[in-house]
Amino acid sequence: MIHEVIVTCRSTQGENQIAPMGVVWRGEDVVIAPFRPSRTLDNILAGGCAVINYCDDVRVFAGCLTGRYDWPLVEAEHVAAPRLAAALAHCELRLQQVEEDPLRPRLVCKPLYEANHRPFRGFNRAQAAVLELAILVSRLERLPMEKIESEIAYLTIAIDKTAGEREREAWEWLMARVDDFRKRQSKEGAV
């Protein structure tokens, strides 16, 4: 089972890093699997710690994919890393073991401290739709355009029926990326 979270960490130079990642729980441990090359990977290897943020503000996911990284951060309690101010809850991790892989190493981490900040108010279909569109946007170059269009048509139903303002804004940021891609494709097709 994969949980989509926001991983926050810090470089040895003190630069904060925010990235959406899918994490897997392995017993008591959490496994983060960044593709190389990755600042998240470099930071966790160098600093030995990270934070996973459980966040229902899907603008953070869509924002990180569209160049919007300026999300308010708060210092973590027990590790040298920030956490998202908007997180519903967060978990601070210590790197325990690295399973090497040329493409995608596995960072096995031990939870040190967990805190709740806001209640989880239930599942929202538009939030799930934004996450799905984020995944599509990260694979625009690799997927057939018909698949992208048909998935967007389906996901739009959940947006129209169930989105709030945050979900609509996140959706628009991602759709702007899809529109740019469509324009580039039709230009290339015309040459």
Interface contacts to ligand FMN, rule CB under 6 A: 4, 17, 19-22, 33-35, 38-40, 61, 64-65, 131, 134-135, 138
> Would you say 3 and 25 are in contact if contact means Cβ atoms under 8 Å apart?
yes
Shortest Å, Cβ 137 to ligand FMN: 8
> Would you say 91 and 17 are in contact if contact means Cβ atoms under 8 Å apart?
no
Give the nearest residue (CB) to ligand FMN. 38
Shortest Å, Cβ 13 to ligand FMN: 14
- DSSP 3-state assignment of 22? strand
Q: Which of residues 35 and 120 has its CB atom nearest to ligand FMN in the complex?
A: 35
DSSP-derived letter for residue 133 is H
Q: Which of residues 130 and 163 has its CB atom nearest to ligand FMN in the complex?
A: 130
Q: Which of residues 44 and 163 has its CB atom nearest to ligand FMN in the complex?
A: 44
Q: Which of residues 76 and 134 has its CB atom nearest to ligand FMN in the complex?
A: 134
Shortest Å, Cβ 172 to ligand FMN: 16
Shortest Å, Cβ 65 to ligand FMN: 5
Q: Which of residues 19 and 76 has its CB atom nearest to ligand FMN in the complex?
A: 19
Question: Which DSSP string corresponds to the chain?
Answer: --EEEEEEEE-TTS-EEEEEEEEEEETTEEEE-PPSS-HHHHHHHHHSEEEEEE---HHHHHHHHTT-----EEE-SSSSSEEETT-SEEEEEEEEEEE--SS--EEEEEEEEEEE-S------HHHHHHHHHHHHHHTTTTS-HHHHHHHHHHHHHHHHHH--HHHHHHHHHHHHHHHHHHHHHHHHHH-
Q: Which of residues 18 and 163 has its CB atom nearest to ligand FMN in the complex?
A: 18
Shortest Å, Cβ 117 to ligand FMN: 21
